[in-house]
Structure 1
Amino acid sequence: MVADGEVMGFIPTVDSAKARRFYEDVLGLRFVSDDPFALVVASQGTEIRIAKLHEFTPAPYTILGWRVKDIEQEVRTLSAKGVVFKRYPPLEQSDAGIWTSPSGARIAWFADPDGNVLSISQHVDGVASA
């Protein structure tokens, strides 16, 4: 059954060298492999295949995100590494770029070197994801 399988994420890139530096050095993901088709990294046991393409248009929405325990600290850490957090008017975001959803979840968005939108979020215990 599919429900018993391991989940794997997919992200496109046109520059796998830049992508590898970003996902390993900036985000701290573990390198798994690199072949002519994809760079593979892992996050808490979930593999992410960064597919090598000649061209693509990044989606305007979040394609992958991470739940974190302390979003303020994560934003500070990533900002210190050069990550710029996205602004989405008319959402009311903090000076750091964090939006608080109606459920209480706090979310911040950023892009990888290819323009793929990623997010980090901190969720309120017992409340469904935003």
Structure 2
Amino acid sequence: MLTDSTITTMLPVTDSERAGHFYADSLGLQQTGKGEDGTLYFAAGAGAIGLRPMPAGSQSENTALSFEVSDLPGEISALESHGVKFQDFEMEGLKTVDHIAELGNERAAWFTDSEGNVLCLHEILG
């Protein structure tokens, strides 16, 4: 059944080497392989992330993937120490304080990878 399947999220990247360094060095993920087409694979939770070479402009303007964490401020601090820049928003329905948006029973923070893909950290509250 698909419910039990391991998922690999494929993200478009224009520079595999640069993206690989970001995911390994900035996010601390372990590379697990490289496909014949140049896709780099990284372990992530019970699944994986594939960084697939694609033309510039293939990246989504919306959140491509979100990592669920148990200590959002701590994760933000750890990633910032590795050069990750978090985004701040102030618009109707979405405002961040110290990079964190409160969204009902969860809170979230967003950043982009080296290729412009929008990534998120989110924490489920109580």
Same fold (TM over 0.5): yes
* Kept in 2: contact 1:68–1:120 (CA 8 A): yes
Q: Does 1:71 align with 2:72?
A: yes
Q: Does 1:119 align with 2:120?
A: yes
Ranges in structure 2 where 5+ consecutive residues have no aligned partner: none
Equivalent residue runs for 1:29-44 within 5 Å = 29-37=29-37, 38-44=39-45
Instruction: Count matched residues.
Output: 123
Ranges in structure 1 where 5+ consecutive residues have no aligned partner: 126-130
CA RMSD of aligned residues (A): 1.4
Residue type of the partner of 1:8? T
1:58 matched to which residue of 2? 59
* Kept in 1: contact 2:6–2:46 (CA 8 A): no
Q: Larger strand proportion, structure 1 or 2?
A: 2
Equivalent residue runs for 1:1-130 within 5 Å = 1-37=1-37, 38-90=39-91, 91-94=94-97, 96-103=98-105, 105-125=106-126
Deviation at 1:57, TM superposition (A): 3.4
Which stretch of structure 1 is more off in the superposition, 47-56 or 59-68?
Answer: 47-56
TM-score (norm 2): 0.89
Deviation at 1:36, TM superposition (A): 4.1
Q: Distance in 2 between matches of 1:48 and 1:57?
A: 16
Task: After the TM superposition, list the runs of 4 or more consecutive aligned residues in structure 1 that deviate by more than 4 angstroms.
Answer: none
Residue type of the partner of 2:11? I
* Kept in 2: contact 1:36–1:52 (CA 8 A): no
* Kept in 2: contact 1:41–1:48 (CA 8 A): yes
Partner of 1:93: helix, strand, or coil?
strand
Identity within the alignment, % = 28
